[in-house]
Amino acid sequence: MRRISPVLQQDGVDSDLISLIKTILAACREISFRVSQGELAGVLGSTLAENIQGETQKKLDVIANELLKEVILETGVVKAISSEEEDDTVAGNPHGKYLVTFDPLDGSSNTDINSLIGTIFSILPAKAELAAEDAGQFLQPGSAQLAAGYVLYGPSTMLALTTGKGTRLYTLDKTYGGFLLTAEQAAIPKYTAEFAINMSNQRYWQPAMQAYIADLLQGKEGPRGKNYNMRWIAAMVGDVHRVLCRGGIFAYPRDSKDPHKPDKLRLMYEANPMSFLVEQAGGMSSTGYERIMDIVPTDIHQRVAVILGSKHEVESCVAYHQR
C-alpha cells in the first residue's frame, strides 16, 4: 500500500500543493483522535454560540475549525482561508499560491450519538491581482478547484481525495500515523437502486422533486420499473462516501420550509468539493437545472440545491426538473 506523497508525485502534482494537502491531513488526524475520545476528552455537546449559518456550534465544531485554521495558515503557501464556521475569510501569506475552504466538521449534530461525521476541504488557486483580505479571491467556480477531499471519521478514518486525475480512497493506518492508498480509483456505478434524501421535508419540495421521489417509491409497479432502497445518515460526508463506494443518488433539493433559505448546502464548503470527487469517480452533480461546478459564487456562504451520484439516476432526476 502506498502513501499519499508518491501517489500525488506520480500524478505530477506541485510539491507545494502536496505539502499543503499533507498539512490539512495532519490536522484531520488530530481531529480523528479527539473524535475517538468522545466524552472522555470532554468534547461532546454544544457551545452557547451560533455560527454565521445561524446554527448552534458543537464543541467539536470549534475545536476542528481552530485546528485547521492554525495549521493551514502556518504553511506559508496559503493566501487566505474560508471556513463554514467563520463570518469572513481569513488572510494568510500575501504571496501565497493557494486558497483553502473547509467545513471543519460536517454532520456535527451526529457527534453526541457517535455517528458518522467528517471534514470537507477544497483548494483553489489564489488570485495574484487581489489582496489576501479580499473575499473576491474565493468567488471562483468549482471547476477551478486544484484539489478536494473529505476525511470520514467512522469505524476507520478514511480519506477521499482528488487532484483532477480520478478519486482515490485512503485509510488512516494508526500504527504509523499516515494515510495509505486502499482504492486506486473510486468508480461510481452508472445505475443504482438506492437514494438518500431527507423525506421529512417532502411536503416542502418543488413539484419536480416530489414527482421524482414519488415514482421511485412506487417501485417495480411504478414508471421506473424497479424497487429502490432509501438510506439517510444526516451527514453529507457519510452519504457521499456510500455513493463513492457502491453508487446511489444523494439529494438535498430546494424547498420552501424557510423562504429565506430555500437551499441548504453551502456551495464552497460542501457542494463544490463533493461534486469534484463525484465527477472524478464517474458520477454526476447538478442543482437540477445546472452543473454545480459551473456556478460562479456571489457570496462565500452561498447555498445551492444538490443532486449527485450515479450518472444515469442523476440524469433521470434532472429530466424531471427540465420538464
DSSP assignments along 16-63, one per residue: HHHHHHHHHHHHHHHHHHHHHHGGGGT--SEEEEE-TTSPEEEHHHHH
200 marked as binding residue: no
Q: Contact, 309 vs 278, CB < 8 A?
A: yes
C-alpha cell of 93?
A: 501569506
CA angle 154, 45, 106 (to 5 degrees): 45
Angle at which helix 236-246 crosses helix 272-280, to 10 degrees, equals 10
Non-local CB neighbours of 259 within 8 Å, separated by 6+ positions: none
Measured over all CA atoms, what is the biggest interatomic distance in the chain, rounded to whole angstroms?
Answer: 61
226 marked as binding residue: no
103 marked as binding residue: yes
161 marked as binding residue: no
109 marked as binding residue: yes
C-alpha cell of 123?
A: 483548494
Going 262 to 280 to 75 to 171, the CA torsion angle's sign is: positive
- Distance CA(286)–CA(254), nearest Å, equals 12
93 marked as binding residue: no
54 marked as binding residue: no
Q: Contact, 31 vs 186, CB < 8 A?
A: no
- Distance CA(140)–CA(302), nearest Å, equals 12
108 marked as binding residue: yes
Non-local CB neighbours of 320 within 8 Å, separated by 6+ positions: 208, 209, 211, 212
106 marked as binding residue: yes
C-alpha cell of 290?
A: 445546472
- Distance CA(99)–CA(92), nearest Å, equals 9
Q: Residues within the annotated binding site?
A: 84, 103, 105-109, 198, 264, 270
Q: Residues within the annotated binding site for substrate?
A: 106-109, 198, 264
Q: Residues within the annotated binding site for Mg(2+)?
A: 84, 103, 105-106, 270
